[in-house]
Amino acid sequence: MDQSRADALDRRQFLAGVGTAALIISGAAVIHTEEAWGLEVKNLKPETMRTLIKTARDIYPHDRLADRFYAVAMKSYDVKAGTDPQAKTMVEQGVAQLDALARKQHGVAYVDVGWEADRVALLRQMEREPFFQNVRGGLVVSLYNQKEVWPIFGYEGESASKGGYIKHGFDDIAWL
């Protein structure tokens, strides 16, 4: 084939793959190749969990937060899918619906849509769905209530064990 067509093919394959470079499926697990962790998925399809993790970041994107925090936030969906068939259906169908939208509008699954703005536009189309509302509402607690996340935002949490903030900078603002 001529060079420009070969270039176009490579470019498309590159763009299609870039969203999934770090999160890959291996057996029944989602593996993060860069952060070096794996999440065993017992009750949902591993592809579903990978999509959930990607969706979670797209709903509440924080560039300073590693993927593992979003994975921790989504883990409960796999746990619940093991005991609650309706919950399992909601998630699998929600992800399937999201993927269908992505294929229709971009020719690839949600996790393979390259630009965040494009994925967010797909999520906006799902905004009224119970699946989206469930994931969004759950993240408010499952993401921001992870204690490991707090220091990344600078939040220090409790102080009573240290004698209170009275001796730990309660009035130390220096720039006014």
Q: Cβ 92 to another protein, closest distance in Å?
A: 22
54 — phi, psi (to 5°)? -65, -45
Stretch that binds another protein, among 4-12, 75-83, 85-93, 153-161 (CB under 8 A): 153-161
Any long-range contacts for 129-134 (C-beta under 8 Å, 24+ apart)?
A: 129/94, 129/97, 130/90, 130/94, 131/90, 131/91, 131/93, 131/94, 131/95, 131/97, 132/94, 134/90, 134/94
Chosen residue from 26, 93, 105, 145 binding another protein by CB under 8 A: 145
Chosen residue from 15, 60, 92, 103 binding another protein by CB under 8 A: 60
2 is a contact residue toward another protein (CB under 8 A): no
User: What is the contact surface with another protein in residues (CB under 8 A)?
Assistant: 59-62, 64, 120, 136, 140-141, 143-145, 149-150, 153-160, 163-166, 168-173, 175-176
